[in-house]
Structure 1
Amino acid sequence: MNISARQLAILAGAGSAALLVTALIFQSVGYVPCELCILQRWPHLAAAIIGAVLIFVDVKLLRWAGALAAGLATAFAIYHSGVEYQWWQGPVACTGGIDAMLTMSTQDLMTQLQSAPVTRCDQPQWYFLGLTMAGWNAICSAILTGMWLRSALWRGIRI
């Protein structure tokens, strides 16, 4: 069975769409996304849209754009995983850092506290086989990036 480069790219776009749907399902059952969780969704949305466009038009540049979007999703997920595992610090607004708050006026501090995200980026809500959602997203996104790159670099594969 032959899979064309276009079909592989469409499949990768569908993979990003599946990751988005999964995130929304988790959200609908009560897992509140943090700032970095939301950030990871945007490149997947772009990749899913690019995959959908490829159903109608096959342009190699779109496959490269899909690879870029999936690569960004991978990078964001790795960054978020590092924040969760305390390998590095995340955004102050997302990890509860106090340094920036010390220089704020009382009014700015009250505004920030009232609009602060409910969920912290450095405290994962879910684990499966020792990995958080961000960790699994990093793995899945890396696979999708590979699929996009394969579709952009070669004409097709045989399975």
Structure 2
Amino acid sequence: MKDGNIFRYDRVLLILLCAIGVFALLTAWVLEHILGLAPCDLCLMERWPYRVIIILGIIGFFLPAKKRSWIMLAAGAVMTVNVGLALLHTGIEQNWWPSPLTACQAPVFKEGSIAERLASMPTRPVKPCDAPDYILPGLPISVTLADLLLSVGVCLFGFISGLFLRKHYHSFRWGGNRKEP
């Protein structure tokens, strides 16, 4: 099977993977820079898996067709990490558990001089991780919960697409073998 057609369905899956990553990062940028929502440290960590899946999608676009299933499976694994981060963040927002990150908590000032207290203050305003931001009034879905839902969807998309491509290119079947096309 020739790999010359740029619009093969496996490449379309990789383009879609990149588009989802760009959409998520662009949405975060708009929320932060245009709508003025300050991100907490967990919010900033939750952006990294989207950057990784964009890079994986670009790399996979230029790989041979038989290797693209591994890229999609890797994207599913990367998004599993983001599901964990978003679930942790959602639990912190809902007060199910405290934040394990010290950066997500308000600074505690010890006794000392005014100069020592000023020196120990953070350089930028710290947004606590337990303060949810809601983007649509009346809809009880915070930005973190929306990220959790998107992460679960992209995770499933990566694993299902990767298994589909493995079945197609590697004669991988649950019920037996299939001849290579």
Instruction: Compute the TM-score of the two structures, normalised by the length of structure 1.
Output: 0.80
Match of 2:48 among 25, 39, 42: 42
Q: Which residue of 2 aligns with 1:72?
A: 81
Post-superposition CA distance 1:112-159 (Å, at most 9, x none) = 4233643111112324421110100000110000000012211289xx
Percent identity, please: 24
**Separation in structure 1 between the aligned mates of residue 162 and residue 83 of structure 2, nearest angstrom:** 18
Matches within 5 A, 1:49-68: 49-58=55-64, 59=67, 60-68=69-77
Q: Distance in 2 between matches of 1:133 and 1:63?
A: 25
- The answer to whether the 8 Å contact 1:94/1:120 transfers is yes
8 Å contact from structure 1 (residues 31, 125) kept in 2: yes
Q: Structure 1, unaligned stretches of length 5 or more? A: none
CA RMSD in angstroms, aligned pairs only: 2.7
Structure 2: gaps of 5 or more residues: 1-7, 168-181
**1:32-75, Cα deviation, whole Å (9 max, x unpaired):** 11101100000111011111222222423322221121111111
Ranges of 4+ aligned residues in structure 1 off by more than 6 Å: 104-109
Once residues 17 and 159 of structure 2 are traced to their aligned partners in structure 1, the CA distance between those partners, rounded to angstroms, is 10
User: Larger Rg: 1 or 2?
Assistant: 2
Amino acid at match of 2:23: A
In the alignment, which of 124, 127, 141 is matched to residue 131 of structure 1? 141
Q: Contact between 2:134 and 2:140, CA under 8 Å: does it hold in 1?
A: no
1 CA distance for matches of 2:155 and 2:51?
14
Report how many residues are paired.
152
CA contact (8 A) 1:80 1:121 kept: yes
The answer to whether the Cα contact below 8 Å between 2:89 and 2:144 also exists between their aligned partners in 1 is yes
Aligned 8 A contact 1:43 1:70 in 2? yes
Cα gap change, 1:34/1:8 in structure 2, threshold over 3 Å: closer, same or farther? same
| Segment drifting more, 106-115 vs 60-69 | 106-115
1:18 paired residue number: 23
Structure 2 letter corresponding to 1:33? P
Is this contact kept in 2: 1:93–1:116, CA < 8 A?
no
Question: Quick check: 128-137 or 60-69, which moved more?
Answer: 60-69
Could you say which structure has the higher helix fraction? 1
Residues 95 and 8 (structure 1), Cα distance of their counterparts in 2 relative to 1, 3 Å cut: same
